[in-house]
């Protein structure tokens, strides 16, 4: 399976001075464009568009140092002069003209290659569950994504909820396959970068029409991969790591791909101070081609 992903990386390298279509990368890996972007970001550690831009600016630096004109280099990699200067400065910290000065320091984004490594990590516990159509019902907000550490915007949102909100929502929950309270993530920006915005719901799953005072999100009948984790010390980091492991380890090793839809986090057990417990991550999937 990794050979297809490395073939996609070769395609990127061969077309840095031309058009790179995500649809072509998805065809090479036999996945959807949505799945390709999600898994690439997890494997490479940065979004696809940023990787391509930084690889182009790495090669562009060599052209600039060879004496090629800035406009010619910009045109070679598909940029206007101003856009090229901005992209060049974003990676190297200096403009193309400054890069020609003796002793100028430049940065390099190395070409990525995916390898299978054995790290001694325990096997991932998961199950596959089919759910009927339902609605996410609760309170929502749009906040920045945080891959590591406390998401202060999320914390402030929970503090802003009226006392008894959870108890009110529990009376609307009627899907027995899911725990009553759900922490829902949806509406991600395409590249899903750290700091990008997404829709966050404190909610339940309901198959009945929701009262108008609640925010709702329709979820079609889908198949879900459900990943489990537990921690005796720090529950929040364990839950964050569950997302990383799902996309960097499980999806590249299994014949499923993620499809657009909300991602559901549930707390199945917790200590009073939330420092330990167990939880699940629900991600909508389909069988790969």
Please give the Cα distance from 221 to 133 (Å, whole number): 4
Residue 162 has pLDDT above 80, yes or no: yes
What are 156's two structure tokens? 């402030």
**Average pLDDT value for residue range 16-43:** 92
- The CATH class of the 126-287 domain is alpha beta
Give whichever of 130-134, 207-211, 239-243 has the largest mean pLDDT: 130-134
Is domain 2-99 classified as CATH 1.10.10.60? yes
Q: Is 146 exposed, middle or buried (0-12, 13-18, 19+ CB in 10 A)?
A: middle
The predicted model scores a pTM of 0.78
**Relative orientation angle of helices 22-29 and 33-44, to the nearest 10 degrees:** 80
What was the pLDDT predicted at 234? 75
Residue 1 has pLDDT above 70, yes or no: no
CATH 3.20.80.10 residue ranges of the chain are: 126-287
CATH 1.10.10.60 residue ranges of the chain are: 2-99
Residue 18 pLDDT grade (very low, low, confident, very high; cuts 50, 70, 90): very high
pLDDT tens digits for range 269-285: 877 776 778 889 999 99
Residue 117 has pLDDT above 60, yes or no: no
**Average pLDDT value for residue range 99-108:** 90
Residue 230 pLDDT grade (very low, low, confident, very high; cuts 50, 70, 90): confident
What was the pLDDT predicted at 107? 92
Residue 120 pLDDT grade (very low, low, confident, very high; cuts 50, 70, 90): very low
- Of 192, 127, 139, 195, which Cα lies nearest the Cα of 165? 139
């Amino acid at each position: 399976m990794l050979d297809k992903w490395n073939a996609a990386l070769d395609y990127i390298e061969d077309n840095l001075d031309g058009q790179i279509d995500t649809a072509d990368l998805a065809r090479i890996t036999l996945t959807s464009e949505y799945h390709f972007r999600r898994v690439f970001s997890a494997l490479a550690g940065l979004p696809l568009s940023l990787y391509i831009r930084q690889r182009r600016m790495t090669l562009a630096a060599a052209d600039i140092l060879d004496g090629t004109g800035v406009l010619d280099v910009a045109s070679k990699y598909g940029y206007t002069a101003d856009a090229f200067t901005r992209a060049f400065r974003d990676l190297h910290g200096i403009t193309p003209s400054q890069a020609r000065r003796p002793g100028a320091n430049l940065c390099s984004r190395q070409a990525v290659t995916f390898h299978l490594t054995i790290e001694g990590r325990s096997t991932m516990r998961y199950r596959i569950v089919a759910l009927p159509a339902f609605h996410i019902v609760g309170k929502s907000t749009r906040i920045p994504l945080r891959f590591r550490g406390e998401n202060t915007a999320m914390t402030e949102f929970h503090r802003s909820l009226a006392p008894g909100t959870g108890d009110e929502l529990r009376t609307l929950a009627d899907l027995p396959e899911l725990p009553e309270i759900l922490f829902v993530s949806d509406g991600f920006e395409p590249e899903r970068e750290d700091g990008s915005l997404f829709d966050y719901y404190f909610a339940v799953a309901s198959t009945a029409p929701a009262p108008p005072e609640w925010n709702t999100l329709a979820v079609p009948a889908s198949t879900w991969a459900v990943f489990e984790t537990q921690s005796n010390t720090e529950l929040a980091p364990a839950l964050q790591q569950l997302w990383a492991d799902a996309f960097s380890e499980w999806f590249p090793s299994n014949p499923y791909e993620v499809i657009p839809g909300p991602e559901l986090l549930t707390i199945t057990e917790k200590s009073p101070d939330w420092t330990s417990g167990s939880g699940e991550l629900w991600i909508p999937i389909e069988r790969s081609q």
